[in-house]
Amino acid sequence: MAIQYSMVARGVVVLSEFNSGPSNASSIARQILEKVAAAASNDAHVSYSQDRHVFHVRRTDGITVLCMADETAGRRVPFFFLEDIHGRFVKTYGHACQTALAYAMNDEFSRVLDQQMDFYSTDPNADRINRIKGEMSEVHNIMIENIDKVLERGDRLELLVDKTAIMQGNTIRFKRQARRFRNSVWWQNIKLTVTLIFLLLVIIYVILSFVCQGITLPSCIR
C-alpha cells in the first residue's frame, strides 16, 4: 500500500489510528505530533522524511490528520487523503472532537481509516478524482476572479451612470437658465420698445404743439 499508516489527533491526544502492518510508525507519529503541536501556527501542511517513507501532516482547526506513505507516492495523493479524512472526521463527530478522550473514536473510525487508505493506495480512480477536484478548484478560482472583474466593471458602469445622470441634470439646469435668460431679454426688449414708442410720441406732440401754436393744438384743430 502507498499509504501504510494514518492517525487523527487533537493536539497530542490521539483519537483514532490505523496501521496496515507491523512498524514503528505510531511512535514516530507521536514525536511528529509533539513537534507540530509546539509550532506557533494553528494550521500546518508539512511532510517529514523517514528512511523510505514520508509522514504527511495536515492540521486544521486544532485537528491533526497524519499519514505515513511510501516516498514514491508523492505528496498530492497523501494530502488529498488527509483532506478527505479530516472532512469525514469533523462531519461525523462535530464538536465532540474538541473534548473527546484518547482513542475515543478509534473503534469506529479506524475502519474508515483502513477503508480510505486502501482506496487512495490501490484504486486508480482516487488520483483521477483528485485531479478532477484540482481542476474544479482551479475553475472555481477563475470564476471568482471573473466575478471580481464583473463586479469591478459593474462599479465602473455605475460610476458612468452616475456621471451621465449628473450631466443630464446639468443639461436640464442649463436649459432652464437659458429659457429664463431668453424670457428676461424678451421682456427687456418689450420695455425698451414701449419706452421708445412713448418717447417718439412725446417728441411728435412737442413738435405739433410748436407748429400748432399751443399745447391744445388750436390752429391745427380748426
What is the C-alpha radius of gyration for the chain, rounded to an integer number of angstroms? 46
pTM above the 0.75 mark? Answer: no
Residue 182 confidence (pLDDT)? 80
17-65: pLDDT as tens digits: 999 888 899 999 999 999 888 875 678 889 999 888 999 999 988 899 9
Helix, strand or coil, per DSSP, at residue 115: helix
pLDDT band at 140; cut points 50, 70, 90: very low
Lowest pLDDT segment from 7-21, 25-39, 75-89, 138-152: 138-152
The answer to whether 14 and 89 have CB atoms below 8 angstroms apart is: no
**Exposure of 184 in the CB half-sphere (CA atoms within 13 A):** 6
Residue 143 Cα distances to 121, 134, 153, 155, 156, angstroms: 32, 14, 15, 18, 20
By percentage, how much of the chain surpasses pLDDT 70? 77
Whether the pLDDT of residue 218 is over 60: the answer is yes
153-194: pLDDT as tens digits: 655 545 555 666 667 776 777 677 777 778 877 788 888 888
Using the structure block, give the residue that is written with the C-alpha cell 462535530: 94
Which fold does the domain 3-122 belong to in CATH? Beta-Lactamase (3.30.450)
pLDDT band at 205; cut points 50, 70, 90: confident
Phi (first) and psi of residue 212, to 5 degrees: -90, 10
Lowest pLDDT segment from 98-102, 109-113, 163-167: 163-167
